[in-house]
Structure 1
Amino acid sequence: MTSNAPKVAEARDSGGGETWLARLALRFTAFSQKWLPDAFGFVLIGTFVVLALGLVSGEALLGTPDDPEASSGFGLVDAWGKGFWSLIEFTLQMAIIVIAGYAVAISPPVGRLITWLAALPRTPRGAITFTAAVAMLTAYVNWAFGLVFTAILAKEIARRLPGVDYRAIGAMAFLGLGTVWAQGLSGSAALQVASTASSPAAVQEIIAEGRGSGVIPLTDTIFLWQGIVATAVIFVVALAMAWFLAPSPERAMTAERLGIDLGPAPGTRRSDDRRSRPGEWVEFSPTLTILLFALGVWYLARHFAQAEGNPLNALDLNTINLILILLALILHWRPVHLARAFKEGTPAASGVLLQFPLYGGIFGMIAFTGLHKTIADWLVSVSSEYFYPALISVYSCVLGVFVPSGGGKWVIEAPYVLGAANELQVNQGWMVVVYDLSEASANLLQPFWMLPTLAILGLKARDIMGYTFAMFLALFPTVVVLVTLLAQTLPFP
């Protein structure tokens, strides 16, 4: 008793004490671990929730339009089938992002960076807050790399620092996708409307009705001072929540207590990495690695130089994947090491490969029927100029639970969100910001984007959703207030 008391007191004095928010998060986590299904269960339930919603709103169960190229007029069953493979390219892109991001993160140079960063936090609470900050900063730069990098960082922190709640730090590793990613440099909606090459013609026409031009430059979306202020406030609120949500070391569920093997440290080389026969020269020589890297960089330089307008407009998922593969190639130096890293990272993409087509089916039931218009028309009918940003914020968040694709969902929403903005005289660029912040909040409520993080950490969705739900209760009301108040400082268009 006597020997333990100073340690407990020391833990509390160093930031290990437990707040009422931490106790609330633990209760949410206990509930989610007992009652919530895994991520695959979410998509199964979501499929039939949307199907029921469509039937209640009057959508036909069966039916196909006469035009085989039509994207509307389908019955719910046929829309589900049409949508099932509609995300197949996106599925492969996401699988490669996960695997290539994993390969970059476990390379020796990045592994050393992660090891150095993992040594910085000194207390469990500090570690959880630090992980939240890294998750948001890296997601702002690039959500794909940040998702994988921070998951591996969280795993290494848990290995080095006793008493860290593995569920809490896992939730914080995902935080960037639930907060600032869409307002960052890889935000899908802002990049789409900034380029005529990536924005649908119908959307460009609606934009031109209010602006005279069919594009909205990044200076009028993610680089608006109002958008930067809103993003900064969300960042600060999320950090404060991370600090207060951290459970005390006495109540922490560590990786060891959860029965999770943390494996080797990132960047660890195996002792058998030696050539055993002359035919293996290609796999072990860095010569072709250097040449292929130079070829890729040459292409990327031309690709960005030829981009229309801002070079950032050339930054799409395919470009991001190529950059990640080239980085993994040069950082692993020898082809054999890169091949092994890709093989080890492939299991982390299994959830993506299984579940994304099912989310495509949900997307189809909303996008290829009149369901999305029914909901949107109702929202616009009860809105006004002042409350329109708040109403669309709520709508985008709710829809994001069922269609968790920032870029794909924006294609659905953009025509009526921007069209109604024209009618109500609300700034179009600001509505992109509203969409970005609100759509990101939805990621805290459903496990679609959690899959890569969960796979790397060895956790289930129900292990971290108590913490992400507690985050949502603080962050989303903040988003709604910010987008409403700051909208009043912006002129139309």
Structure 2
Amino acid sequence: MLRALSRPAVKLVERYLPDPYIFVLLLTLIAAAAAIGIERQSPMAVLTYWGDGFWNLLQFSMQMLLVLVTGFMLASSPPVKRLLSSLATLANNAGAAIILVTLVSLAASWINWGFGLVVGALFAKELARQIKVDYRLLVASAYSGFIVWHGGLAGSVPLTIATDGHFSMEQIGVIGTSQTIFSAFNLIIVAALFVAVPLVNRMMLPGERESVYIDPALLGDDDNERPRITRPAERLENSVTLALLVGVPGLIYLVSYFIGGGGLNLNIVNFLFLFLAIVLHRTPQSLLNSLHEGIKGGAGIVIQFPFYAGIMAIMIQSGLAETMSRAMISFATETTLPFWTFISAGIVNMFVPSGGGQWAVQAPVVIPAAQALGVDIPRAAMAVAWGDAWTNLLQPFWALPVLGIAGLKAKDIMGFCLIQLIVTGVIISIGLTWL
């Protein structure tokens, strides 16, 4: 049944979903028009919000570009290639490959969202080198594991409200992760997704005639040959000693950081990927060759993320995001508030694809509503978190690193993700409402 449902979904998305750049341009115009029409903002005011906020994600854009590039460099190092190749041998057919890549992506994304995006995409490429499987579904399966990130160890909403001095502290105090990430209802949702998401992906596997395969030779699996050294500068470029003198101290710093109680964040993930890549590539030239290959997939991040920063500024500064949130939960009851909060967060996420930014927008609406109706605050907060994660299955913002590594377009995978959006939406809704 799911295979039959996925066919029209894939065709629909392939036909009508534009390139992510076109998508972000359309979202910009929609957000601007809504701010003018609904919030009664003047066109000049909206233009000012947009222009002032356009570069607000520069740091994050660089971090995401580095997630792609450093992850690619690490995975293209000889030892990691061998490890991924060995792990890929656990799957002996197309169905097993789909399940395995989904489970790896789910586990990695639960640990850290940036880690999950890169590991899932790179493992999908390795599986495609060894097994004849629909490449679109394989990459979509790798991306679908991202659904659990906001219910995992790096979830920005639960970590924010667990931090002393957070902006809502006077209203709700400090809420530990035992009440959010490690609460019974959240762990059950995560466990259910670990079962359902791989099975749904497997059941969507197209038949032989409908599948789209990729030539393994196109996936760039050629090992870098050690060049013949003809000039003194090349001795430095191919010096193992130089790489170790820089790479090993970086890893020693990381050990000290984690021993001192430091946790995973995007900068630490990138630092880890980079210095492991420096050591494992063994020579600077090998690392640079990998860098030149990996950077090709980062164009979408560079051009699109500033537009999303502009959209977020319009949504927040005009009051449109708050209006949307209030409208969605205005008719909620004590029982249904988590559900409607989840739905509203999913809609807002299409325009404000940032977990921390979305909580800043929705917390002033969700917290008073939960307190007035007697709803558990941690559950309401996790409803925002899950809503933010949920519609990432249809929002190409977060898929850009995966697509860049895999060499695909959004339309190639989003049809499969649409089916997952429906299935996971039901599971998460049940978990938030009745568990």
What is the TM-score normalised by the length of structure 1?
Answer: 0.83
- 1:216 aligns with one of 149, 165, 175: 175
Distance 1:276 1:415, change over 3 A: farther
Point out where structure 2 has 5 or more consecutive residues left out of the alignment.
Answer: none
Correspondence for 2:219 = 263
Deviations 1:310-369 (A, max 9, x none): x43xx3322222122122122212222222222211111111111000111110111112
**Residues 1:190 and 2:149 aligned together:** no
Distance 1:365 1:239, change over 3 A: same
Residues 413-422 or 369-378, more deviating: 413-422
Correspondence for 1:296 = 250
**Residues 1:241 and 2:200 aligned together:** yes
Correspondence for 1:25 = 6
Distance 1:425 1:306, change over 3 A: farther
Q: Who wins on radius of gyration, i.e. which is larger? A: 1
Give me the whole-angstrom Cα distance separating, in 1, the residues matched to 2:135 and 2:257: 41
Does the Cα contact within 8 Å between 2:224 and 2:286 map onto a contact in 1? no
- 1:203 aligns with one of 163, 168, 172: 168
Deviations 1:396-448 (A, max 9, x none): 11111121122222222233323332333222222232222221111111211
Indicate the SS of the match to 1:443: helix
Q: Aligned pair count?
A: 435
Does the Cα contact within 8 Å between 2:247 and 2:275 map onto a contact in 1? yes
- 1:286 aligns with one of 230, 240, 247: 240
Distance 1:125 1:418, change over 3 A: same
Give me the whole-angstrom Cα distance separating, in 1, the residues matched to 2:161 and 2:260: 18
Distance apart, 1:236 and its partner CA:
1.1
Does the Cα contact within 8 Å between 1:125 and 1:247 map onto a contact in 2? no
Indicate the SS of the match to 1:389: helix
Correspondence for 1:104 = 74
Report the AA paired with residue 250 of structure 1: R
Indicate the SS of the match to 2:394: coil
Correspondence for 2:83 = 113
- 1:44 aligns with one of 22, 25, 33: 25
Does the Cα contact within 8 Å between 1:108 and 1:332 map onto a contact in 2? yes
Correspondence for 1:404 = 353
Residues 151-160 or 84-93, more deviating: 151-160
Give me the whole-angstrom Cα distance separating, in 2, the residues matched to 1:124 and 1:185: 31
Does the Cα contact within 8 Å between 2:39 and 2:318 map onto a contact in 1? no
- 1:60 aligns with one of 25, 41, 64: 41
Give me the whole-angstrom Cα distance separating, in 1, the residues matched to 2:225 and 2:253: 36
Does the Cα contact within 8 Å between 1:61 and 1:76 map onto a contact in 2? yes
Does the Cα contact within 8 Å between 1:206 and 1:415 map onto a contact in 2? no
Distance 1:217 1:236, change over 3 A: same
**Percent identical:** 34
**Residues 1:143 and 2:92 aligned together:** no
Distance apart, 1:298 and its partner CA:
4.2
Correspondence for 1:225 = 184
**Residues 1:166 and 2:115 aligned together:** no
Give me the whole-angstrom Cα distance separating, in 2, the residues matched to 1:22 and 1:408: 36
Indicate the SS of the match to 1:288: helix
Distance 1:302 1:456, change over 3 A: closer
Correspondence for 1:93 = 63
Indicate the SS of the match to 1:275: coil
Distance apart, 1:274 and its partner CA:
4.2
Distance apart, 1:390 and its partner CA:
0.3
Deviations 1:232-255 (A, max 9, x none): 112211122112111122321112
Correspondence for 1:153 = 123
Give me the whole-angstrom Cα distance separating, in 1, the residues matched to 2:98 and 2:353: 26
Distance apart, 1:206 and its partner CA:
2.4
Indicate the SS of the match to 1:402: coil
